[in-house]
Structure 1
Amino acid sequence: MMGREARATLIRLWARQILETITLVLLMLLIIRITLQNFHIDGHSMEPTLHDQEYILVNKAAYLLQEPARGDIIVFQYPRNPQENYIKRIIATPGDRISIQKNTVIVDGTTLHERYVNKDDPYNPYPTINQRVVGANQYFVMGDNRGNSSDSRAWGMVPRQNIIGKAVVVYWPFDVDNFGLLPNMSDVFAHVR
C-alpha cells in the first residue's frame, strides 16, 4: 500500500507530465500556425496544376532563408487589393527580362518549354510583352491556364512583401489527380541564367 507522501509525489509527477504535454502540444500548434496556412482555390487560373475548389497548404516560412524562385507556386496579396489573396506561378524574378509573344514565354533570352501550362486553352488575351525588366523585390507571375488568368500580364509585378508563402500540398479532395505534394518545376527554368 502506498503512503500519503508517496501518493502526493506521484500526483505531482503526473500533473507535471500532463502540463508538459499540454505545453508541448500548444507550442507545436503555434509553430504550425506560424509556418503553415491552408488556402482554398477559387477559380480555374491554375488548371491543370490546381483545380477549382481544392484546398492546399502554404508554407509561410519557405522564404525566410531563401528567395522565391522561378517555377514556385505562390500565394500572395493581390497588389491592387491586399484584402484578396491570389495564387500563381513565378515566371521571372528580380533582374530578369521577360518577353511574351502569343503563347511563347522568353526569360533572359531562353524560351521556356512549360509542360505545366493548360494545352486545352492556348488563347492569350493580353498584348505582346517585349523585354520587360522585373524590378528589384518584384516577381512576374502567371497562371498555368494562360487563357483564363488575371496575372502580371494584366496588372504588373508582385512586390516581395505581398508574398504569403509557397504552395506545397494539395490536401482536399482526396480523389483528384494531383493530391499530395506539388511537383517541382524548376527544371523548366534550368537554362535561364
Structure 2
Amino acid sequence: MSNSPNKIKEFGIESAKSIGFALLLFLGLHTYVAEARYVKSGSMLPTLEIQDRLMVDKLSYHFRNPERGEIIFFNPPEVLEKQNFHEMLVKRLIGLPGDKVEVKDGLVYVNDRPLVEKYIAEIPRYEFSAVVPPNSYLVLGDNRNDSYDSHAWGFVPRDRIVGRAAFRYYPFNRLGDPSH
C-alpha cells in the first residue's frame, strides 16, 4: 500500500506531461501550420457561402509567395483597423506587387489583359485603376459589387497575409478546394 501514493503521483506527473505536450503541439500547429475558419459575410459569394468552414494553410507562404487567384485570409490593414475592423478577412488575390490592375467595362484587367473569372457573382459595376506597390497585394471579393475590398480601401501588406484557404470541410456536399 505504501507504493500506491507514489504510483498515483507518477501517474499525475505523466498525465500532466502528456497534456502539456498535446497543448503545445496544438498551439504550435494552430499558430504556424493550419487553422480552422468560417465565412462570416457574403463578400465571396458564390464561391464561399456564409458559414462555410475552411482550413487555412499558414505554412505555404513561408516557402513561396501568394499567387493570383488564391483565396487568402489576412489581418486587416491599418486603414481598416482605424475603421474598427479587427477580425481576419477573406478575399481573392488579384494583384501581385507591381501589377497594374484596372476594373472597367465590367471586366478586371491585370497588366492590360482581361482576367477570365468564372467564379464571380456578377460583373463589376464600378471602375478602378491602381498599380500594386512592392510587398503588397490587391484583393477583391468574388461578390464584386457587394464586397468591401481593395477597390475601396487599398492594398494588403505582405506581412498581414495569414494563409490561403486550402480546404472546405463543411458543408459536406461542397468538400474540397474552395478556390474554384
**Alignment partners' CA distance in 2, 1:54 and 1:156:** 26
**Superposed, which structure 2 residues align to 1:1-193 within 5 Å?**
25=22, 28-34=25-31, 35-79=33-77, 80-81=80-81, 83-118=86-121, 121-122=122-123, 124-126=124-126, 128-130=127-129, 132-175=130-173, 178-183=174-179
Structure 2: runs of 5+ lacking an equivalent: 1-6
Shift of 1:32: 2.2
**Alignment partners' CA distance in 1, 2:88 and 2:125:** 22
Shift of 1:125: 4.8
Give the structure 1 partner of residue 4 of structure 2: none
Q: Which amino acid aligns with 1:181?
A: D
| Residues 141-162 of structure 1: per-residue CA shift (max 9 Å, x gap) | 0011112111111111111111
TM-score, normalising length from structure 1?
Answer: 0.74
Structure 1: runs of 5+ lacking an equivalent: 1-10, 186-193
Q: Is the 8 A contact 2:58 2:162 kept in 1?
A: yes
| Structure with bigger gyration radius | 1
TM-score, normalising length from structure 2?
Answer: 0.79
Structure 1 outlier segments of 4+, above 2 Å: 17-32, 180-183
Aligned residues: 169
**Alignment partners' CA distance in 2, 1:30 and 1:90:** 28
Q: Which amino acid aligns with 1:100?
A: V
